[in-house]
Chains A and B, each alone.
Chain A
């Protein structure tokens, strides 16, 4: 019982601080990138082709003479917006389906679980690839495909948490009071799983960002001329020896974003324990 008294003690930790700072910078770049970039990200210039980094162009220019910094800022914006939508959609489906199947169990639960088993059988990127090649490319379809690929893992997490709480004493008491099932699910139980769920959401961002970059790298995600980190990397591939700076900025941006979210996730996990 003594341990239980201390379980609510929350502690700041270095992971959390570093994660918050890095993710904060990422989001700031995304927001700024939506409204302002140093140069027009799609403006081409034959004279500026492959200009190395300079004061005018911090990260140099690409094969069409476009400013790489501006394109990375736009790419970060695109990536963040796509992953936010993907995570939001799949987490929402995860909460709804996971809560219902976990709390009520029974046949519907069995069917849903076998379905998620089947979906889980494929790597999520491969699954998204299949969906995309059936539906065709484009940002909306990319979001849809990634959401479908990611929601089984959220369903599983939420379901197992709801199974844990459905037999809790305080839920039994709520039922005795006559509280309706929807209220039990979303007012009584849901706040209890929030901290666990938050960690998986933050980690989910990472997967979404990597998946989006991977898709765009393969040319089936964001379509040119719109900037995307993955597409920039794949373009830069051909010029690695002649213009090494081309790959540097988008590569660093992906590492920065993913590292930031990883640290944030770990920080939240430690905060909760």
Chain B
């Protein structure tokens, strides 16, 4: 039985975890759900004794089977923690690539755990690692054993991490967003695996996530956190069916559960036509003398986009979604086929709001730049400084940012605010269509909903067409009129959103829908 007892943790005098009490019984899976900055990760890291050195426990304690692991007012007992870490309690992190050493074979890395905590012989260790690999669903375990991390896929790496975490049958397993970096289909396999491990090994599990749907499927109990405090905790069923707190409800409503799109206003006018489009990369080395081969990432794509329409493009990472969109925008020249549109300069909204705004410029400058560029290319569009400024202020109002943001730098804005600026920057020149590449995937759920609303608002106002790329089926359902499903570079299914969701034809589409 693990107990986090009235725990408060502060950094630089600011409490980021406030009076948090969580009990995890043997064999129980407790989910901690909250937006980024809610203190859920700090709670987990403190429990594991892995929180940064400058964190101070301002109140409470952590109990592991009645042993006090940490207590307010005492310095961290590293020796005590070492006895538990890796043996009694283990952790799985979000990013399996950075948690594995890239220079060592994964088999040796998992064996390291055994070397530290057991006295098995070399052969026994290897046997145990292979057995554990098999138990976490890795096929061809001998090959995996001898692989380096970069030779494995994201899902396989996460399985290796899980193997490493469970090989000693720990009493407590902490998983911090273990599936966030993975594709949906892989996500589900990992969740199923964690469930299976929990049933077999009866470990206590603390599952940290921002994704309520995942927590619902895996956890017995749920703790909802906000701003370092526990808002609500209870049985999963109770939390989902009868949430007591307004915040919990808001969090659940913000989850893009299948909210159908408002009445589409599609006119017949064609905005974009793509026919027999192939996108490829010259394969092989960069050497001048290597034979140039074509490595196709998009094969024979064809579709049309109409005025005022949102066309969804769904598929897993690596299926060619982004290559297709970049080809449409002319950012990739290695293409064959037809792409025709009348839009002067279609724009793109990127996934990562942190890298899509130039950090050295002010928001005002960033919003003016498209106008300046347009004016330079086409003298008839040239505007005076005052006119540009006026237009930027108007745009700031539309994207719901105060006028004072004109002089701010992107670093002073939150992720959601940055994505608003990105959208404003893309739309200020009133392009005919926009390619939106996972525009809400990097955002918290409540922010996601706001951004989608903003995009829909603009769409109605400007009769915009979007090519909307996403791996999140629910987001697509809410945003799109029609959906294309892409797999291995091919568009395998196209149709009205409702039709695709109700009667998917392809096996793969069914699988995608099932997993969301």
Chain A residues engaging chain B, CB cutoff 8 angstroms: 1-2, 4-5, 7-8, 168-170, 172-180, 183, 188, 191-192, 194
Contacts and interface: CB of A to CB of B under 8 A. Distances in A.
What is the interface residue range for chain B against chain A?
20 to 34
B328 to A, nearest CB: 11
Given A2-B36, A177-B369, A177-B370, A170 B409 contact: no
A147 B221 CA distance: 68
Interface stretch (B80-88, B104-112, B350-358, B462-470): B350-358
Given A2-B36, A168-B355, A173 B350 contact: yes
Interface stretch (B56-64, B371-379, B471-479): B371-379
Given A1-B354, A1-B415, A174 B359 contact: no
A168 B350 CA distance: 11
Contacts of A173: 347-348, 350, 356, 422, 425-426
Contacts of A178: 345, 373-374, 376-377
Interface in B360-392: 360-361, 369-370, 373-374, 376-377
B346 interface: yes
Contact of A170 (B329, B357, B411): B357
Question: What DSSP secondary structure best describes chain B's contact surface?
Answer: loop
B43 interface: no
Nearest to A174: B369
Contact of B348 (A4, A176, A191): A176
Contacts of B374: 177-178
B25 to A, nearest CB: 31
B347 A176 contact: yes
Question: What DSSP secondary structure best describes chain A's contact surface?
Answer: helix
Contact of A169 (B329, B352, B415, B429): B352
Contacts of B359: 8, 192
Nearest to A194: B360
5 contacts: A173-B425, A174-B369, A176-B331, A177-B347, A178-B376
B429 A177 contact: yes
Given A176-B347, A180-B376, 20 more contacts: A1-B36, A1-B354, A1-B415, A1-B442, A2-B36, A169-B350, A169-B352, A169-B356, A170-B356, A170-B358, A172-B348, A174-B358, A176-B329, A177-B345, A177-B369, A178-B374, A180-B373, A183-B373, A191-B360, A192-B358
Contacts of A180: 373, 376
B37 interface: yes
A188 B360 CA distance: 8
A1 B240 CA distance: 28
A169 B361 CA distance: 15
Contacts of A168: 355
Nearest to A175: B331
B36 A8 contact: no
A188 B370 CA distance: 12
Closest A-B pairs by Cβ, 10 of them? A191-B360, A8-B411, A169-B356, A169-B350, A177-B370, A169-B355, A179-B373, A177-B373, A170-B358, A178-B373
A49 B345 CA distance: 78
A106 B347 CA distance: 27
Nearest to B414: A5
Contacts of A188: 358
B354 A4 contact: yes
Nearest to A8: B411
B37 A2 contact: yes
Contacts of A176: 329, 331, 345-348
A179 B360 contact: no
A187 B356 CA distance: 16
Contacts of A174: 358, 369, 373
B287 to A, nearest CB: 11
B409 A8 contact: yes
A175 B329 CA distance: 10
A197 to B, nearest CB: 13
A127 B358 CA distance: 39
Nearest to A180: B376
Nearest to B345: A178
A64 to B, nearest CB: 54
A170 B365 CA distance: 13
Interface in B483-513: none
A56 B352 CA distance: 68
Contacts of B369: 174, 177, 179
Contacts of B36: 1-2
Contacts of A2: 36-37
A180 B429 CA distance: 17
B195 to A, nearest CB: 28
A106 to B, nearest CB: 11
A169 B419 CA distance: 13
Interface in B19-78: 36-37
Nearest to B378: A178
A29 B374 CA distance: 51
A183 B412 CA distance: 25
